[in-house]
Amino acid sequence: MTDLTNLGVKAIRDGVAGGDFTAREVAESFNAAVASAAELNAFIVTTPDHALAAADAVDAKRAKGEDLGAMGGVPIGMKDLFASHGVQTTAASHILEGFKPEYESTVSQNLWNAGAGMLGKLNLDQFAMGSSNETSYFGNVASPWRKEGSNAAMSPGGSSGGSSSAVAARIAPAATGTDTGGSIRQPAAFTGICGIKPTYGRCSRWGVVAFASSLDQAGPMARSVEDCAIMLGAMAGFDPKDATSLKMDVPDWEAALNADLKGKKVGIPKEYRMDGTDEAILASWEQGKAWLKDAGAEIVDVSLPHTKYALPAYYIIAPAEASSNLARYDGVRYGLRDLPEGAGLQDMYAATRAEGFGDEVKRRILIGTYVLSAGFYDAYYNQAQKVRALVARDFEQAWGECDLILAPTTPTASFPLGSLNEDPLTMYLNDVFAVPASLAGLPAMSVPAGLNPDGLPLGLQLVGKPFDEQTVLDAGLAIQQRSGFEQAPEKWW
Ligand code: GLN
């Protein structure tokens, strides 16, 4: 039998449904692959029994001739930002260590209802704050990719770095991610996989540890566009428990996939040609244009004039919301409690938060509290909200001239772990191309474009109109068919 761990979502689902192998065989293969890949540090906890139980339920349904679900028999990794009933959920923080929710997030429940099983909870940047997966309390995640001729451990991107590492290493066929300002797309680009952040509101945020609520969106990470379409279909849907959830039907994205782009106009935003962007990235952008043209699309120049203000606005809005969301971790309700001898309530808050949050999280809380404070609210937070509106308006105007936008996902390929730690501003720049779509709430996807001269993956980003995930996925498929990207990292773990 072929090695089941080389299969993706669609191949597993169809193979289980067709009786080529059982869901249990699939779960056992991936459980073994996860157990043998501890060096990647992609998982915080593994849940082999969850994967086996879900698989057995699918096999039993098949025996009875019942419908197996859109993800029937597919074991996945769950970013440890989604609350899992009875399973430790930490957001990669010390403050939530040992927290076992009494509830399941809507998105993960949707996946279980569709027949998926859970291999474990994936490592991430602490509270999803970071671009390299180095801010986790549970240690760095390594990318399975290395530079040609080097043994240096590389970043899998962040914050969904456990997700990207596991999927690229083929120890999970797919994983959930969340994207606040690039955390699905940037790690997907760094590891040669696909990842889509849907329109804000498509996936429920209920049961997802909140970072910046007006930006947070869940999405799938997998090795093909088809697999992302299938998994997004299973994750999305209206949820009365999330006030910002979209009350819209979930289209059958998989069934409608169509790589023929005739009649579509693809916008190339001139402001994304930034100083410091890698030559190889610019070359892959050119290649992407040629591929989409070959698929029948017309390429047009567009302008998104407020692009350069998006990142600074994000780094005011996201920390502001984070400082408010993270106020709930006070030693009273969840996880860690540090109650020094003779301490009062305030001392307990201070001691718990000092011990329980990492440096990057503290930096965000300080910035967020500052920009929301009475004397500075108008100067920073209100200004940033105005900029956000202008960034969104740029896109609205661009939609008058094109149906989707093609841009690089990141300004560089992956970098060695440890190389940017001392320099938060350079780290923040990783998301310069990703953040505008986040601020505007638009669907955006990263698909692999090839390898750079060092042998590291590069991603191309597609940004669509609100609710138009279909065109984004279609263009992603057109790129996938032309790049033929199927390279796997050489196994060293
Ligand atoms: N890297 C960005 C940040 O640190 C985005 C994170 C995310 O999308 N969760 O804020």
The domain that holds 31 is classified in CATH as 3.90.1300.10
DSSP state of 143: P
- Contact between 419 and 152 (Cβ < 8 Å): no
Whether 1 shows a pLDDT value over 60: the answer reads no
Residue 36 lies in a domain: yes
Model pLDDT for residues 118-137, shown as the tens digit of each residue: 999 999 999 999 999 999 99
Whether residue 6 is predicted with pLDDT greater than 60 in this model: the reply is yes
- Give me the helix-helix angle, 106-113 and 225-235, nearest 10°: 110
Mean pLDDT, rounded, for 106-113: 98
**What string of H, E and C letters represents the secondary structure of 226-258?**
HHHHHHHHHHCCCCCCCCCCCCCCCCCHHHHCC
Integer Cα distance of 134 and 158 in angstroms:
8
Asked if residue 290 is part of any domain, the answer here is: no
- Burial of residue 286 (number of CB atoms within 10 Å: 0-12, 13-18, 19+): exposed
Distance 13 CA to ligand 1 centre (A): 32
In a domain, 467, yes or no: yes
DSSP string, 171-227: SSSEEEEEESSSTTHHHHHHHT-EEEE-STTSS--TTBPPSSTTT-EEEEEESSHHH
Share of the chain above pLDDT 90, in %: 95
Q: Which of 212, 213, 208, 235 is nearest to 222 (CA)?
A: 235
- Residue 14 resides in a domain: yes
* 247 domain-assigned: yes
What is the 234 CA–ligand 1 centroid distance (Å)?
24
In a domain, 59, yes or no: yes
* Domain with 162 in it: 4-260+445-483
443: Cβ–Cβ under 8 A, 6 or more apart, which residues? Answer: 196, 197, 198, 199, 202, 437, 463, 464, 465, 466, 467, 468, 469, 472
Please indicate, yes or no, if residue 199 is contained in any of the structural domains: yes
Other beta carbons within 10 Å of 341: 5
- Atom 10 in ligand 1: which residue has the minimum CA distance? 129
462-488 pLDDT, tens digit per residue, is 999 999 999 999 999 999 999 999 999
Q: Per-residue pLDDT tens for 145-182?
A: 999 999 999 999 999 999 999 999 999 999 999 999 99
Q: Which residues pair with 78 in a beta bridge?
A: 121
CB-based contact 23:59 (threshold 8 Å)? yes
C-alpha 216 – ligand 1 centre gap (Å): 10
* Mean pLDDT, rounded, of the chain: 97
Q: Which residue has the CA at smallest separation from atom 5 of ligand 1?
A: 181
Rounded mean pLDDT, 27-54: 98
**277 pLDDT higher than 90:** no
Q: What's the pLDDT band for 2 if we cut at 50, 70, 90?
A: low
Q: How far apart are CA 202 and CA 441, in angstroms?
A: 10
What's the pLDDT tens digit per position in 298-316?
A: 999 999 999 999 999 999 9
pLDDT digits (tens, 9 = 90+) for 345-393: 999 999 999 999 999 999 999 999 999 999 999 999 999 999 999 999 9
**pLDDT digits 0-9 by tens, 421-469:** 888 888 999 999 999 999 999 999 999 999 999 999 999 999 999 999 9
Ligand 1 atom, smallest distance to 427 CA: 1
Pocket test for ligand 1, best of 80, 178, 183 (most atoms within 8 A of CB): 183
Whole-model pTM over 0.75:
yes
Does 276 fall in a domain? no
- Pocket of ligand 1 from Cβ distances under 6 Å: 128-131, 158-159, 179-183, 211, 318, 431
Overall number of domains in the chain: 1
User: Separation of 469 CA from ligand 1 center, angstroms?
Assistant: 21
- 229-273 pLDDT, tens digit each: 999 999 999 999 999 999 999 999 999 999 999 999 999 999 999
